[in-house]
C-alpha cells in the first residue's frame, strides 16, 4: 500500500515536471506583460501600461488584424472544402481517389519549409502577387488535410444505417444528410475548424514565404522583432490571446466533462 | 432423374434478364452532389500541392541567371552542389539536432503518456488538454521566453549570479543546445499525443490477463505495453523528427547563427541568395528523406492517420 | 391472395462476387415471410434490395404489381426496422417517430396524434420526450418499430431486429411482434438466422443458402418435409443416411446403407439403384433389442445428455456414424453400452434427393447440425 503511494507520487511528480517545462515560458510571458521595466530581465513592478500601449501600436494591431482575417477566411474555406471532401471520399468511388488520399497527407508530413517554397515558386510562375490572397490560399492548403482527418474519424463512428433509415422514412438524400448526418458530424467539423484556426494563427514558416510586406501577420511581426528583443507589448497581447483561447477550451472541456460524467 | 418439387425452383434455369441501367438514385442531382463534394478538394490539392511540388522538382534541374531568375535549361549542377562537403555538414548537423530533439521528446513523452494513460477518464482529458493549451499561444513568443530565461543576461543567469552561485554567466542558448531545447519544446506535444493514444487504446483486459498469468508489472510493461505502443512511438518520432529539419526559425532564434540547418539553407536560397533551383534541389532531398522515413514507418505497421 | 412483393429473376453481384443467383419469390399481402439462412447466404441483401438500398444487378422487384427496383428508398412505401435500431441519436423519441411524418409533410397537430398512437401501440405512452440513452434495448427496439410503422407502409422489413436483445426479452418481443403483425395486417418480411424464431413467427419461411433459395414453405412443411438436405440440416436436428434404393413397392421404399438397410414410406417416385438421403428426426428414432422387419441398423448406446424436457442420446453405428435420439424426460433410458437395433415408423422418415453420387460415404460428425 505504502509502496503504491510512493510510486504514484513519482509518477505525478514526473507529470508535474513536464508541465513546468511546458508552462514555464508562458508564465514568463504573463509575468513580463505586467512588468514596469521594458527589459525582460527581472520583475521591477506591476503595471498595466503595456496592455494600453499595445492597442495603440499600429504595426502590431494591423499584423494581428491580418492574422485574424486570414485565420477566419482560411478556416471557413478549409472547413467547407475539407468536410465535403471527407464525406465524398467516404461515399463514392472515383478515379484518383487513392491518389487524393495520399496527397492529403503531404501537407501534414512534409517539412513546412518545402510546402512554403513550393507555393512561393508556383505563385511566382503564375504571377500571383504576394498578398493576403496568396496567404489565404496557402493557409487553406495546409488546413484542409486536418479538417479531412478530424471529420473522417468522426464519420467512421457514425452508423451508416442512420442515413439509410432517414432515406427509408422518405427523406431525400440532402434532407437525410442535413437532419441526421450533419448534426452527428458537427463536433468533428468544429474541432477541425478550431484546429485549422489555431494552425493558421500560429503559422510562421509557410506565411514567411507566401505573404508580401504589406500583409504581414502577427507571427511574422514577432519574428521580425525577435532579433532586437520582444517588447512587453507582445507579452501583453499574447496574454490576452491566450486568455481568450483558454476560455474557449475551458468552456469546451467543461461541457465534455459533463458529457463523460453522464 | 429424381426431382423434388419445390415452389420457386422451377424458374431456376430461366435466362438471366439483361442488367437494368442506371438506377434512379444515381440521378443528375445525385451526380451534382457527388461532384460538389469531390471536385473542390481534388482541384485544390492538385493546384496547390501536387503541381507546386512537381514544379519544385522541375526547378531543381533548372539553371539560374545572375539576377536570380530561373532559366529553363537542364542542369545537374544543383544536385552536385547539394552534395558538396559544406552542405553535407549542414545536413549532418540538422539530422543530429533532429535526432537529439526526438530522443529528448521521447524520454519526456513516453513516461508522461504512460502515467497519464493510467489515470481516470476525466483526469486524462484534462491532462491532455493541458498539453495542447501552450501550443495555442504563439510559438515565437514562447521561444523568446526561453531566451528571456536563459540568455547571458537572462533571468536565470542573473539570479544565479546574484546569489553567488556562478561567477560567469552560463551559455544556455545561442548554441546547438539552445536549438535542441527549442525544437523539443515546440514539438513535445506531437510526441505525447500519438504515444498517449496508442497506450490509451490498449485493452485493459490484456494487462489483467498478463497479471493473471503471473507477469510482474515490469514484465507487463516490457512484453505488452511497450510493444503495443510502438506504432504511437514511431508516429511521434516522425512527427518530431521531420518538422525539426525544416523549422528554420528555431535555429534562427535559439541558435543565434551558430548552427545552420537544412531549413535555413533552403530559406536562404529563396530569400537572401536568390538561388531558387538550388533551394529546390535541397527541398527535393528533404522530400526524399521524408518519404523514406514514411515508408519505414508504414512497413513497421504504422498508420498514416496516426500522424494527424 | 394478393401479391404484395414479387422478386422476379433477381441477381446481385458486388464486383465479381455473386451474392444472389436468379431468385424468384412472391410475397403475399398480410403475410409474415421470413428469410432464413446462415450468415452470408444473401438474406440481408435481398432485404436491402426490397428497401432500395441496393439495386439488383438484374431482375425486377414489383411492389403491389408496380416495378420499384429503380426507385430510391424514399419513394417506396416500404419501411425498415434495422438490426441496430438506427435511431437518430440527436433526436428525442417523439422526433424519431415523427421523422417519417415530417418528411411526408404531415401537419404538426396530426403528427403529435399519430406519434401518441404509435407509442400506445408499443406500450410506451408518455415516452415522447425521452432521450435515446435513457432507453433500454427492448424500448429502443419498440421505438424503432413504431418509427417504421408510423407512415403506414405497405410492407415492413425487419433485419434481424431482435438479435441485439437477450434471450428472455427476445422471446417476449417475438410474441409481441407477431401479435402486432396480426393486428395491423401489414406484410412483414423478416430476416433472421435463428431457425426457432423463424418457425415460431412466420407464415412462410424462405430458406436461403449461398445466394439461392433452398425451399420456401410454411414452417410445418419445412420441418416435416424438408426439400433438400440443407433444409433438413438447418431446420431442427436431423439424422441423415446416404443410401441406394434397392426395392420399391407401393407401400415401402427399401434403401441399403453402409452396414445395413432401412425402409421408408414416401410419395416421392424413385427408381432402383438411385442414391438418396434419408432424413430422420431425433424424436422419431426408436430402439429395439431384436431386429424389426425391413430394418437392419445395429448400434450401441453411447452417451446420454439431460436437456430439460427431453433426454438426448447418442447412438454409435458400426461404421462410426453417430445418431441423435431424443426421448421424453419421463421415459426410462437404456444403459450405456447396450447393443440395440435402430428403427422407426416408415412414415416418419423423409426421402430427400441426394446431391452427392458417392454412396456409402461415412458421415463426418461435421455433417450434423449443431446440437443446440
Q: Which residues of B touch A30 (CB under 8 A)?
A: none
pLDDT at B8: 36
CB contact under 8 Å between A170 and C103, yes or no, is yes
Where does the pLDDT of residue A66 fall: very low under 50, low under 70, confident under 90, or very high at 90 and above? very high
Biggest CA-to-CA distance, chain C:
78
User: Which DSSP symbol is given to C85?
Assistant: B
Q: Which residues of B touch A7 (CB under 8 A)?
A: none
- Residue C74 has its nearest CB partner, among A159, A167, A183, at A167
Say whether pLDDT at A246 is over 90: no
Q: What angle do CA A200, A204, A206 make, to 5 degrees?
A: 80
- What is the pLDDT averaged over residues A67-76? 97
pLDDT at B62: 92
pLDDT at C251: 80
- What is the pLDDT averaged over residues C124-137? 90
What is this structure's pTM?
0.82
- What is the pLDDT averaged over residues B233-251? 92
The residue with greater pLDDT, B95 or C250, is B95
pLDDT at A183: 92
Say whether pLDDT at B7 is over 60: no
Query: Nearest chain B Cα to C275, which residue?
Result: B2
- Using one digit for the tens of pLDDT, what is the confidence trace for B140-154? 999 989 988 888 878
Q: Which residues of B touch C73 (CB under 8 A)?
A: 25
- Return d(Cα A218, Cα A155) in angstroms, integer: 35
How would you label C115-147 residue by residue, b for 16+ Cβ within 10 Å and e otherwise?
Answer: beebbebbebeebbebebeebeebbbbbbbbbb
CATH architecture of A48-261: Orthogonal Bundle (1.10)
CB contact under 8 Å between C88 and A162, yes or no, is yes
Chain B: closest CA distance from residue C297 (Å): 26
A178-184: which pairs have CB atoms within 8 A and are 24 or more residues apart?
Answer: A179/C88, A179/C99, A180/C88, A180/C90, A181/A87, A183/C90, A184/A154, A184/A158, A184/C89, A184/C90
pLDDT at C356: 53
Delimit the domains of chain C by residue range: 3-229, 240-367
User: Which DSSP symbol is given to B18?
Assistant: P
pLDDT at A118: 96
Query: Residue C81, Cβ neighbours under 10 Å: how many?
Result: 25
Query: Nearest chain B Cα to A240, which residue?
Result: B137
- Residue C274 has its nearest CB partner, among B2, B11, B20, at B2
Query: Nearest chain B Cα to A241, which residue?
Result: B137
CB contact under 8 Å between C84 and A180, yes or no, is no
Within the 75-104 window of chain C, which residues sit less than 8 Å (CB to CB) from chain B? 75
CB contact under 8 Å between A159 and C86, yes or no, is yes
- Residue C69 has its nearest CB partner, among B5, B16, B20, at B20
Grid cell, residue C254, equals 427399401
CB contact under 8 Å between A164 and C82, yes or no, is yes
- Using one digit for the tens of pLDDT, what is the confidence trace for A164-207? 999 999 998 889 999 999 999 998 999 899 989 999 999 999 99
Q: Which residues of B touch A153 (CB under 8 A)?
A: 305, 308
Grid cell, residue B173, equals 542558448
Where does the pLDDT of residue A2 fall: very low under 50, low under 70, confident under 90, or very high at 90 and above? low
pLDDT at C355: 59
Burial class (CB in 10 A: 0-12, 13-18, 19+), B258: middle
What is the three-class DSSP state of C187? strand
Query: Nearest chain A Cα to C49, which residue?
Result: A168
Where does the pLDDT of residue A40 fall: very low under 50, low under 70, confident under 90, or very high at 90 and above? low
Check CB contact of C153 with chain B, cutoff 8 Å: no
Instruction: Report the residue count for chain A.
Output: 262
What is the three-class DSSP state of A96? coil
Q: Which residues of A touch C89 (CB under 8 A)?
A: 162, 184
Where does the pLDDT of residue A248 fall: very low under 50, low under 70, confident under 90, or very high at 90 and above? confident
User: Which DSSP symbol is given to C91?
Assistant: S
Check CB contact of C52 with chain B, cutoff 8 Å: yes
How would you label B201-217 residue by residue, b for 16+ Cβ within 10 Å and e otherwise?
Answer: eeeeeebeebeeeebee
Which residues are within 8 A (CB) of B256 and not within 5 positions of it... i.e. 6 or more apart?
A: B173, B174, B175, B178
Where does the pLDDT of residue A4 fall: very low under 50, low under 70, confident under 90, or very high at 90 and above? low
**Interface predicted TM-score (ipTM):** 0.90
Domains of chain B, each with CATH number or no CATH: 80-307 (1.10.3720.10)
Q: Regarding beta strands C204-209 and C32-36, do their DSSP bridges make them parallel or antiparallel, or are they unpaired?
A: parallel
Grid cell, residue A258, equals 459533463
Average pLDDT for chain C: 88
- Return d(Cα B279, Cα B79) in angstroms, integer: 10
Chain centre distance of CA B45: 19
CATH class of the C240-367 domain in this structure: mainly beta
Q: What kind and span of H or E run contains B71? A: strand B70-71
Check CB contact of B32 with chain A, cutoff 8 Å: no
- Residue B17 has its nearest CB partner, among C52, C59, C75, at C59
Say whether pLDDT at A6 is over 80: no
Q: Which residues of C touch B33 (CB under 8 A)?
A: none
- Residue C9 has its nearest CB partner, among B4, B7, B16, at B16
Q: Which of A65-79, B57-71, B206-220, C129-143 has the highest mean pLDDT?
A: A65-79
- Rg value, chain B, Cα: 28
Q: Which residues of A touch C78 (CB under 8 A)?
A: 168
Chain B: closest CA distance from residue C25 (Å): 7
What is the three-class DSSP state of B4? coil
Check CB contact of A179 with chain C, cutoff 8 Å: yes
- Return d(Cα C63, Cα C154) in angstroms, integer: 9
pLDDT at A3: 59
Q: What kind and span of H or E run contains C12? A: strand C3-14
Grid cell, residue C200, equals 415460431
CB contact under 8 Å between B55 and A118, yes or no, is yes
User: Which DSSP symbol is given to C73?
Assistant: G
Where does the pLDDT of residue B106 fall: very low under 50, low under 70, confident under 90, or very high at 90 and above? very high
* Structural contact between residues B270 and B159, judged by C-beta atoms closer than 8 angstroms: no
- Return d(Cα A226, Cα C334) in angstroms, integer: 98
Average pLDDT for chain B: 84
- Return d(Cα B242, Cα B297) in angstroms, integer: 12
Within the 272-331 window of chain C, which residues sit less than 8 Å (CB to CB) from chain B? 274, 276
Delimit the domains of chain A by residue range: 48-261
Residue of A15, A33, A90, A114 for testing the chain B interface, max B β-carbons within 10 Å: A114
Query: Nearest chain C Cα to B8, which residue?
Result: C24
Residue of C73, C96, C145, C148 for testing the chain A interface, max A β-carbons within 10 Å: C73
How would you label A170-193 residue by residue, b for 16+ Cβ within 10 Å and e otherwise?
Answer: bbbbebbbebbbeebbeebbebbb
For domain C3-229, give the CATH number: 3.40.50.300
Within the 28-67 window of chain A, which residues sit less than 8 Å (CB to CB) from chain C? none
Residue of B5, B9, B10 for testing the chain C interface, max C β-carbons within 10 Å: B9
**All partners of chain B with 3 or more CB pairs under 8 angstroms:** A, C
Q: Which strands sit side by side in the sheet containing C322-328, from one edge to the other?
A: C286-288, C339-343, C298-307, C310-317, C322-328
The residue with greater pLDDT, B16 or A238, is A238
Crossing angle of helices B176-200 and B226-246, rounded to 10°: 140
Check CB contact of B28 with chain C, cutoff 8 Å: no
Nearest CA to A40 out of B146, B3, C129 is that of B146
- Residue C86 has its nearest CB partner, among A165, A170, A262, at A165
Where does the pLDDT of residue B212 fall: very low under 50, low under 70, confident under 90, or very high at 90 and above? confident
Crossing angle of helices B276-299 and B226-246, rounded to 10°: 180
* Structural contact between residues B170 and B160, judged by C-beta atoms closer than 8 angstroms: yes
pLDDT at A256: 77
- Using one digit for the tens of pLDDT, what is the confidence trace for C275-287? 888 999 999 999 9
Using the structure block, give the residue that is written with the C-alpha cell 482529458. Answer: B125
- Return d(Cα C86, Cα C158) in angstroms, integer: 12
DSSP A20-85: HHHHHHHHHHHHHHTBSSSSSSS---B--HHHHHHTT-HHHHHHHHHHHHHHHHHHHHHHHHHHHH
**All partners of chain A with 3 or more CB pairs under 8 angstroms:** B, C
- Using one digit for the tens of pLDDT, what is the confidence trace for C211-250? 899 999 999 999 988 988 889 889 988 899 888 888 888 7
Check CB contact of B287 with chain A, cutoff 8 Å: yes
pLDDT at C358: 43
Average pLDDT for chain A: 90
- Using one digit for the tens of pLDDT, what is the confidence trace for B116-131? 998 888 899 889 989 9
Question: Comparing A144-148, B63-67, C366-370, which segment has the lowest mean pLDDT?
Answer: C366-370
Q: Which of A3-12, A61-70, B114-123, C126-135 has the highest mean pLDDT?
A: A61-70
End-to-end CA distance of chain C: 37
CB contact under 8 Å between A169 and C72, yes or no, is no
* Structural contact between residues A202 and A146, judged by C-beta atoms closer than 8 angstroms: no
Say whether pLDDT at B14 is over 50: no
Nearest CA to A104 out of B38, C105, C302, B29 is that of B38
Say whether pLDDT at C369 is over 80: no
Say whether pLDDT at B11 is over 50: no
Say whether pLDDT at C372 is over 70: no
Say whether pLDDT at A117 is over 70: yes
Query: Nearest chain B Cα to C11, which residue?
Result: B16
Where does the pLDDT of residue A262 fall: very low under 50, low under 70, confident under 90, or very high at 90 and above? low
Say whether pLDDT at C83 is over 80: yes
Say whether pLDDT at C357 is over 60: no
Amino acid at each position: 500500500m505504502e509502496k503504491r503511494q510512493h510510486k504514484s507520487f513519482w509518477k505525478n511528480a514526473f507529470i508535474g515536471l513536464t508541465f513546468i517545462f511546458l508552462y514555464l515560458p508562458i508564465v514568463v510571458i504573463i509575468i513580463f506583460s505586467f512588468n514596469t521595466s521594458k527589459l525582460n530581465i527581472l520583475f521591477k513592478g506591476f503595471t498595466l501600461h503595456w496592455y494600453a500601449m499595445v492597442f495603440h501600436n499600429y504595426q502590431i494591431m494591423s499584423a494581428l488584424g491580418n492574422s485574424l482575417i486570414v485565420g477566419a477566411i482560411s478556416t471557413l474555406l478549409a472547413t467547407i472544402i475539407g468536410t465535403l471532401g471527407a464525406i465524398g471520399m467516404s461515399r463514392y468511388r472515383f478515379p484518383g481517389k487513392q491518389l487524393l488520399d495520399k496527397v492529403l497527407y503531404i501537407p501534414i508530413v512534409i517539412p513546412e519549409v518545402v510546402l512554403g517554397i513550393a507555393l512561393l515558386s508556383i505563385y511566382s510562375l503564375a504571377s500571383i502577387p504576394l498578398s493576403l490572397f496568396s496567404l489565404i490560399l496557402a493557409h487553406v492548403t495546409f488546413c484542409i488535410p486536418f479538417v479531412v482527418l478530424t471529420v473522417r474519424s468522426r464519420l467512421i463512428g457514425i452508423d451508416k444505417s442512420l442515413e439509410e433509415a432517414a432515406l427509408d422514412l422518405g427523406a431525400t438524400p440532402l434532407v437525410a444528410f442535413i437532419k441526421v448526418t450533419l448534426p452527428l458530424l458537427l463536433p468533428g467539423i468544429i474541432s477541425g475548424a478550431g484546429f485549422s484556426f489555431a494552425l493558421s494563427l500560429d503559422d510562421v514558416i509557410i506565411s514567411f514565404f507566401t505573404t508580401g510586406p504589406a500583409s504581414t501577420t502577427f507571427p511574422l511581426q514577432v519574428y521580425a522583432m525577435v532579433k532586437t528583443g520582444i517588447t512587453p507589448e507582445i507579452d501583453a497581447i499574447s496574454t490576452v490571446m491566450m486568455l481568450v483561447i483558454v476560455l474557449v477550451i475551458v468552456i469546451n472541456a467543461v461541457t465534455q466533462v459533463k458529457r463523460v460524467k453522464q | 432423374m429424381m426431382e423434388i418439387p419445390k415452389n420457386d425452383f422451377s424458374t431456376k434455369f430461366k435466362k438471366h434478364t439483361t442488367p437494368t441501367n442506371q438506377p434512379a438514385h444515381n440521378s443528375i442531382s445525385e451526380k451534382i452532389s457527388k461532384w460538389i463534394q469531390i471536385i473542390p478538394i481534388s482541384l485544390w490539392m492538385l493546384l496547390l500541392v501536387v503541381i507546386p511540388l512537381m514544379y519544385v522538382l522541375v526547378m531543381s534541374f533548372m539553371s539560374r541567371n545572375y539576377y536570380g531568375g530561373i532559366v529553363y535549361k537542364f542542369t545537374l549542377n544543383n544536385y552536385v552542389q547539394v552534395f558538396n562537403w559544406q552542405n553535407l555538414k549542414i545536413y549532418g548537423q540538422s539530422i543530429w539536432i533532429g535526432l537529439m530533439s526526438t530522443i529528448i521528446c521521447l524520454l519526456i513523452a513516453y513516461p508522461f503518456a504512460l502515467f497519464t494513460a493510467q489515470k481516470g477518464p476525466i483526469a486524462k482529458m484534462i491532462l491532455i488538454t493541458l498539453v495542447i493549451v501552450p501550443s495555442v499561444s504563439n510559438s515565437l513568443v514562447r521561444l523568446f521566453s526561453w531566451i528571456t530565461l536563459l540568455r547571458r543576461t537572462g533571468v536565470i543567469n542573473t539570479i544565479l549570479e546574484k546569489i553567488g552561485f556562478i561567477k560567469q554567466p552560463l551559455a544556455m542558448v545561442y548554441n546547438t543546445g539552445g536549438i535542441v531545447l527549442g525544437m523539443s519544446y515546440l514539438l513535445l506535444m506531437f510526441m505525447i499525443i500519438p504515444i498517449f493514444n496508442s497506450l490509451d487504446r490498449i485493452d485493459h483486459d490484456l494487462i489483467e490477463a498478463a497479471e493473471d498469468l503471473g507477469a510482474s508489472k515490469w514484465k507487463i510493461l516490457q512484453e505488452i505495453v511497450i510493444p503495443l505502443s510502438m506504432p504511437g512511438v514511431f508516429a511521434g518520432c516522425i512527427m518530431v523528427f521531420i518538422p525539426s529539419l525544416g523549422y528554420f526559425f528555431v535555429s534562427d532564434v535559439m541558435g543565434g547563427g551558430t548552427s545552420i540547418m537544412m531549413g535555413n539553407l533552403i530559406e536562404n536560397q529563396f530569400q537572401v541568395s536568390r538561388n531558387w533551383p538550388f533551394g529546390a534541389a535541397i527541398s527535393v532531398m528533404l522530400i526524399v528523406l521524408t518519404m523514406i522515413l514514411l515508408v519505414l514507418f508504414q512497413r513497421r505497421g504504422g498508420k498514416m492517420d496516426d500522424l494527424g | 391472395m394478393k401479391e404484395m412483393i414479387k422478386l422476379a429473376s433477381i441477381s446481385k453481384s458486388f464486383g465479381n462476387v455473386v451474392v444472389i443467383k436468379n431468385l424468384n419469390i412472391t410475397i403475399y399481402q398480410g403475410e409474415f415471410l421470413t428469410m432464413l439462412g446462415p450468415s452470408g447466404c444473401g438474406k440481408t441483401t435481398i432485404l436491402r434490395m426490397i428497401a432500395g438500398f441496393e439495386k439488383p444487378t438484374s431482375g425486377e422487384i414489383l411492389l403491389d404489381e408496380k416495378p420499384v427496383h429503380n426507385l430510391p428508398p424514399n419513394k417506396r412505401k416500404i419501411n425498415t426496422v434495422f438490426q441496430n435500431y438506427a435511431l437518430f441519436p440527436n433526436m428525442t423519441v417523439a422526433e424519431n417517430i415523427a421523422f417519417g411524418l415530417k418528411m411526408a409533410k404531415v401537419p404538426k397537430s396530426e403528427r403529435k396524434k399519430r406519434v401518441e398512437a404509435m407509442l400506445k401501440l408499443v406500450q410506451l405512452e408518455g415516452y415522447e420526450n425521452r432521450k435515446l440513452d435513457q432507453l433500454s434495448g427492448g424500448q429502443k427496439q419498440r421505438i424503432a418499430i413504431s418509427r417504421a410503422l408510423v407512415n403506414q407502409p405497405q410492407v415492413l422489413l425487419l433485419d434481424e431486429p431482435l438479435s441485439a436483445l437477450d434471450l428472455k426479452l427476445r422471446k417476449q418481443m417475438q410474441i409481441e411482434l407477431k401479435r402486432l403483425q396480426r393486428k395491423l395486417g401489414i406484410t412483414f418480411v423478416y430476416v433472421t438466422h435463428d431457425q426457432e424464431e423463424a418457425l415460431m413467427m412466420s407464415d412462410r419461411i424462405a430458406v436461403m443458402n449461398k445466394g439461392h433459395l433452398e425451399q420456401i414453405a410454411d414452417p410445418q412443411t419445412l420441418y416435416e418435409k424438408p426439400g433438400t438436405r440443407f433444409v433438413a440440416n438447418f431446420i431442427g436436428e436431423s439424422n441423415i443416411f446416404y443410401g441406394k434404393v434397392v426395392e420399391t413397392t407401393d407401400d415401402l421404399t427399401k434403401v441399403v446403407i453402409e452396414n445395413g438397410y432401412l425402409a421408408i414410406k414416401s410419395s416421392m417416385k424413385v427408381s432402383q439403384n438411385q442414391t438418396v438421403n434419408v432424413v430422420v428426426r431425433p424424436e422419431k428414432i426408436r430402439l429395439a433389442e431384436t431386429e424389426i422387419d425391413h430394418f437392419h441398423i445395429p448400434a450401441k448406446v453411447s452417451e446420454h445428455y439431460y436437456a430439460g424436457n427431453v433426454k438426448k442420446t447418442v447412438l454409435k453405428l458400426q461404421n462410426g456414424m453417430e445418431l441423435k435420439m431424443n426421448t421424453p424426460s419421463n421415459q426410462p433410458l437404456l444403459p450405456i453400452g447396450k447393443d440395440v437395433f435402430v428403427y422407426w415408423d416408415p412414415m416418419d422418415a423423409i426421402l430427400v434427393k441426394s446431391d452427392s453420387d458417392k454412396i456409402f460415404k461415412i458421415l463426418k460428425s461435421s455433417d450434423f447440425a449443431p446440437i443446440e
